[in-house]
Amino acid sequence: MFRTLIFFFIILISAQERLIGQENSIYIKAGLLYDSKENKLLKNKLVHIQDTKIISIGEFESLPKNSKAIDLTEYTVLPGLIDAHTHVLFSQDANEDFSEHSIQSLTMESDALRVLRGSKRAKSYLDQGITSIKDLGNSGLYLDVALRNAINEGTIEGPRIFASGPILAATGGQIYGVLPEHQNIIDSEYRIISSPEDAKNAVREHVNQNVDLIKICADNLPNKTFLTIDEIKAVVETAHSYNLKVTAHCVTNQSAWNAIEAGVDGIEHGFNLADSTITKMAEKRIYMVPTENSRDYMNTYVKLAGFEDTEWIDNYLNIMKDRLNKAIDKGVPVVAGSDNYTDIKVSRGESSSDMFRYYFEAGMKPLDILQSSTYISAFHLNKEDEIGYLQPQANADIIAVKGDIINDFISTIENVEFIMKDGKIYDQTTD
Ligand SMILES: [Zn+2]
């Protein structure tokens, strides 16, 4: 009798476990599914999600009997998109000076207010299907890390954040025109490096505060200071010893060359790269994050900034387009990033998704743009097993767009109708 009871009990428990398992299971029928590793679209795939992870990707027929699936047969299903260059804790108006606004923010905006504002900006990325962001500084003393933690623990909703902490930079950082007696203000926004030894300490401080990657300013224009090759080398060697990637803000060609010599993993902006620098990046598989904007965005920006002269826009965009295409032709890995921190009177997420339009205008093919915003981006962060690629054991960060992604890219990528992050459906306006 006792044995029978135990037996009955075990059956009951396992049945309950099965039930719980099923309750936490979600199936998605994808009419088209983007394979970001192979860079191609697959037809009619069934995605099985359990809790926060993807369990399997199979055929429609593998849907268990009596199970219901979310019907996305009319949609293209993609990994959640990644913006690899954001500043969610910083915002300025188009007509404001960056340096003056930075000082104002550091002296008149409390950390509490700054994080609350930043959390609203962060959340707006989810609406665009951008489920992960690399937030690269201008975020006070580790406010990006705090925001990341609040999102990860579920206190607030937002994208997965990879936080850099304060940018490592040479004297003055990027804040120009500050008197010597007030340079200490800059220490609450940048980690100023004074030597290779100090550079090692700076990385260790960042490791101690649990950053996800290291961002440096290889040059500080319009401040004239820059990090030396030895300082950058010390940063890279220390960061790599902790398995952290190093990405470098570079405006000048010289600073990009220095950063590459020192072994950084990626170059942000790279506005003025010489052909030889681009070749070296391709050889060393150093990625580039081109952070330009579309023509529409630029027109809005100059209007808000009150610039009279708009003729430079075409010239600027053409030079940038040439440099991007040269990099692609030579085989430099391109990682998508917006760097949008100016208030152009739409949400930050919406403003940042302008990067898709820009890359398209610059001649990139739709699937290549998607790969730069998913697999390639995740790969260069060592996170391709977790994000940016729909595969078993990856985080269930899944979005769906309606439209023809190949032939009508812009309106389709801007038409995100299904958003899931960590297995949780964030917004579903399908039907
Ligand atoms: Zn930036």
What separation in Å is there between the alpha carbon of 157 and the centre of ligand 1?
23
- Please state the three-class secondary structure of the chain as a single string: CHHHHHHHHHHHHHHHHHHHHHHCEEEEEEEEEEECCCCEEEEEEEEEEECCEEEEEEEHHHCCCCCCEEEEEEEEEEECEEEEEECCCCCEECCCCHHHHHHHHHHHCCHHHHHHHHHHHHHHHHHCCEEEEEECCCCCCCHHHHHHHHHHCCCCCCCEEEECCCEEECCCCCCCCCCHHHHHHHHHCEEECCCHHHHHHHHHHHHHCCCCCEEEECECCCCCCECCHHHHHHHHHHHHHCCCCEEEEECCHHHHHHHHHHCCCEEEECCCCCHHHHHHHHHCCCEEECCCCCHHHHHHHHHHHCCCCCCHHHHHHHHHHHHHHHHHHHCCCECCCCCCCEECCCCHHHHHCHHHHHHHHCCCCHHHHHHHCCHHHHHCCCCCCCCCCCCCCCECCEEEECCCCCCCHHHHHCCEEEEEECCEEEEECCC
Ligand 1 centre to CA of 32 (Å) is: 34
For the chain, what are the domain ranges?
A: 22-79+391-428, 81-352
Q: Confidence band (pLDDT; 50, 70, 90) for 98?
A: very high
CA of 339 to the centre of ligand 1 (A): 5
| Gap from CA of 326 to ligand 1 centroid (Å) | 22
Q: Does position 19 have pLDDT exceeding 80, yes or no?
A: no
Taking 80 as the threshold, does the pLDDT of residue 134 lie above it? yes
* pLDDT-above-90 percentage for the chain: 92
Q: How much is the pLDDT for 24? A: 82
Q: Give the pLDDT confidence score for residue 23 in this predicted structure.
A: 65
* pLDDT, average across residues 36-43: 98
Query: How is domain 81-352 classified at the CATH fold level?
Result: TIM Barrel (3.20.20)
pLDDT band at 3 (very low <50, low <70, confident <90, very high): low
Question: 22-79+391-428: which CATH topology?
Answer: Urease, subunit C; domain 1 (2.30.40)
CA of 399 to the centre of ligand 1 (A): 26
